[in-house]
Amino acid sequence: MILRRCWRAGALAYALILCMIRLGLWRLRGPLTPRQRALWLQSACRGVLTSLGIHSSVHGTPPTQGLVVSNHLSYLDILIYSAVMPCAVVAKIEISRWPYFGLAARTAGTLFIDRSSRASTVAVAAEMARRLTLPIPVLLFPEGTSTDGSQVLPFHSSLFQPAVVGKAAVTPAALRYVIRGGIPESTLCWFGDAPFVSHLWKALGTPGFSAQVTFGDGRSFSDRRTAASATHSSVVEMRSGGDFSKGWPPPSVRLDGRWGGRSAHNKAG
């Protein structure tokens, strides 16, 4: 396991350096558009997840615009979703101060929110309204924190308002971690007061780690509370819709190095 961790740590360092080299090459072409930033983030996250040995499967069709709302298990969720689809992410403001990752997040056009500040929520909602008019989905974790996966916390409705006002489609998405050998999902969730470094060290040493993403159907809503309640129910249903206790990987996971698998058509962030 130590050898695996060291190998992946080296691969991760290489992937992070390569991300910044690619960013520099993109910037030589001129200022980056929001879509170019999202595409850079997608490429970067795919490289990082490959270095961590994390595979993914996707069920349903990733949207190309509108609001995507999901349950939240750890900081890895941002990498997983960004690798699956170009998107702009709403994340907690603390991430903006993380070494390296804060710079990468700012470069990618992340919307940072201070959940203790009403003014911050208003400002982020205004920026979300603008982003929702672009051909790039906005990713939101409306639980407001990450969990151990045992339940999906109620969705806060405030940041659904920009989608309601702009009549943008809101797409529910469910994420679950599947680990070889029947290891509980909570083993790789990052929640409570767990230190970042120790969690990353654990992830580096975990074999057979797959992330399953399921997208529901997008629709518009007439009020934010209905949107929050309806999408929460959809995410809970999608999370409970599969039994992966009989082995790893799940049937749709691709292990050939390609992303996407089979497509049917207050912690981390």
On the question of pLDDT at 258 being above 60, the answer is no
Give one DSSP letter per residue of 156-172, joined into a string: P-GGGHHHHHTT--EEE
User: Which has the minimum average pLDDT: 101-105, 122-126, 248-252?
Assistant: 248-252
Q: Angle between the 196-204 and 2-27 helix axes, to the nearest 10 degrees?
A: 110
As a whole-number percent, the residues of the chain with pLDDT over 90 amount to 71
On the question of pLDDT at 3 being above 60, the answer is yes
Rounded alpha-carbon distances, angstroms, from residue 101 to 88, 108, 165, 199: 15, 10, 32, 16
88-92/209-215 β-pairing: unpaired
pLDDT at residue 192 in the model: 86
For 38-77, how does the pLDDT look when each residue is reduced to its tens digit (9 = 90+)? 999 999 999 999 999 999 999 999 999 999 999 999 999 9
For 104-143, how does the pLDDT look when each residue is reduced to its tens digit (9 = 90+)? 999 999 999 998 899 999 999 999 999 999 999 999 999 9
For 139-164, how does the pLDDT look when each residue is reduced to its tens digit (9 = 90+)? 999 999 999 999 999 999 999 999 99
- Compute the distance between CA of residue 75 and CA of residue 95 in angstroms, rounded to an integer: 9
Alpha helices for 166-195 (secondary structure H) = none
With cut-offs at 50, 70 and 90, classify the pLDDT of residue 18.
very high
Contact between 58 and 84 under an 8 Å Cβ cutoff? The reply is: yes
Please enumerate, as own/partner, the contacts of 113-116 that have beta carbons within 8 Å and a separation of 24 or more.
113/159, 115/144, 115/266
pLDDT at residue 46 in the model: 95
On the question of pLDDT at 257 being above 50, the answer is no
On the question of pLDDT at 201 being above 70, the answer is yes
With cut-offs at 50, 70 and 90, classify the pLDDT of residue 26.
confident
With cut-offs at 50, 70 and 90, classify the pLDDT of residue 267.
low
- Compute the distance between CA of residue 171 and CA of residue 227 in angstroms, rounded to an integer: 10
Contact between 81 and 87 under an 8 Å Cβ cutoff? The reply is: yes
Contact between 216 and 172 under an 8 Å Cβ cutoff? The reply is: yes
CATH number of 2-239: 3.40.1130
**What pTM does this model have?**
0.87
For 203-230, how does the pLDDT look when each residue is reduced to its tens digit (9 = 90+)? 999 888 999 999 999 999 999 999 999 9
pLDDT at residue 253 in the model: 35
Q: Angle between the 34-52 and 2-27 helix axes, to the nearest 10 degrees?
A: 160
